[in-house]
Amino acid sequence: MHVHRPDRLHAAGDPDLPADRRGNGVRSDLVLDDLPDQPDSRQPDAPFRLHAICPERCGRRDEYGTGLPRSLARGRHLPDRVGDTLGRPRPRHRDPEGPAVTWRDHDTAASHFIASSDEPGLRLHIRAHGDDPARAPVLFVHGATYASRLYDIPHPGASWLKATAEAGFAAYALDIRGYGLSHSPVFETAGKPYARASKAIRDIDDAVAWICARHAVESTRLIGGSWGSITTALYTSTIGAARVERLVLYAPIFAEVNAGWLTILADPNDPARVDPRHGAARLVTEAATRERWDAEMPDGANWRDEAVFQALVQASLADDPHSAHHNPPAFRAPNGTFLDLWEAFNGRRLYDPKDVNCPTLLIRGGADPTSTRTDALRLFDGLGSADRQYVEIANGAHFASAEKRAHRVFRAVNAFLT
């Protein structure tokens, strides 16, 4: 288990780890395996990652954010991996003349794996920032293509999960079965579209149950984006009604005819039915992602940062162990979502909004052609909750949370969650 803690050990030597008040700043039962290779002389207290193996925890790997003076960091040559006797530390502060920082340098989330109660052999992956059990928890659920990576893009300022943790919450993001690191033996051999909403809500329920038990609470805040707005609203209106304290539907999709999407999903020989050639999954390449994202923005819009885009794509490819087997590299996305979207984009709802009775926020990019204003407002008017809000982000599209105005999304949602 890899747990991230926001604790800090100050350069002055004053320990600030809860169990480390011994005055020497470093616990004797921790094995350090990461120190700055080239500390920034202008930032003597700059933080670096400290991986720790606690013997009494049977090899459990913890990660502490710390800061040490350059005098202590300089010259240290510690194990680079657990079990190594000698190795070069992974640098967190680089010489300006050294190699460029990559997305991996910013990939600092904790990873938790829990057993599925619905599918044998499935272990669900939950990434987290600020996951102190004393904090109020928030669970993110992704959409149809990108897994939880979309909410934790490993690039400075681009992680919605980190922004939520910085607001004081324990921020979690679930990979639905078949997505991201929630690898499934059933998915590997499936021949039909895998992971429909009816199955996804079982994964959400498992994650919510685990989070509630971990935090000793009865309910959690829940955020669902795009197809994830369908799954989270379906969950909240049915089996999860008592376990959702507040609900955020980001880039919501409800039930409105969308001709553009129907063209993509339909059988070319019979536009009245979904294409039967959709198998268990589809392959997603960098080029396909760029094309899709470009199509979601108005012509000439400069709303996307290329470095953020690359971090999202490369991290997503790395999560699929089969991505390198394809040329060009591609990760798999389950196609069960296509069957759900076929219903929604034909104007057929997958849940009854009047059964959503908790405080609810709908938020979307103002130029989003997938989550339209008319569809979102129809959903808004149909919600059972009297405590509801609707927010649009100007100059934002379907991926507004990953675009240049993402901070406005983060700010609006954090205000609602508080």
pLDDT digits (tens, 9 = 90+) for 65-100: 333 333 333 333 333 333 333 233 333 344 445 556
**pLDDT for 102:** 86
Cα–Cα distance between 412 and 190 in angstroms, integer?
Answer: 40
pTM confidence score? 0.77
* CB 216, CB 125: distance < 8 Å: no
Instruction: Report the amino acid identity of residue 58.
Output: C
Tokens 């009297």: give the residue: 386
Q: Which of 6-20, 104-118, 178-192 has the lowest average pLDDT?
A: 6-20
Please report, for residues 22, 91, 159, 265, 414, the alpha-carbon distance to residue 372 in angstroms, rounded to integers and kept in the order given. 57, 45, 25, 18, 23
Q: Give the pairing type, strands 270-274 and 266-267.
A: antiparallel
pLDDT score of 32 more than 80: no
- Chain-wide mean pLDDT for the chain? 82
Superfamily name and number for 110-417: Alpha/Beta hydrolase fold, catalytic domain (3.40.50.1820)
> What are the domain boundaries of the chain?
1-100, 110-417
Tokens 């803690």: give the residue: 5
Cα–Cα distance between 319 and 332 in angstroms, integer?
Answer: 10
Question: Looking at residues 167-183, what average pLDDT do you find?
Answer: 97
Instruction: Report the amino acid identity of residue 404.
Output: K
> 418, 349, 354: which is closest to 386 by C-alpha?
354
pLDDT score of 155 more than 80: yes
Cα–Cα distance between 100 and 103 in angstroms, integer?
Answer: 10
Cα–Cα distance between 333 and 416 in angstroms, integer?
Answer: 31
Half-sphere exposure of 390 (CA within 13 A, CB side): 17
Summarised one tens digit per residue, pLDDT across range 287-317 is 999 999 999 999 999 999 999 999 999 999 9
Strand extents, DSSP E, 322-387: 330-334, 360-365
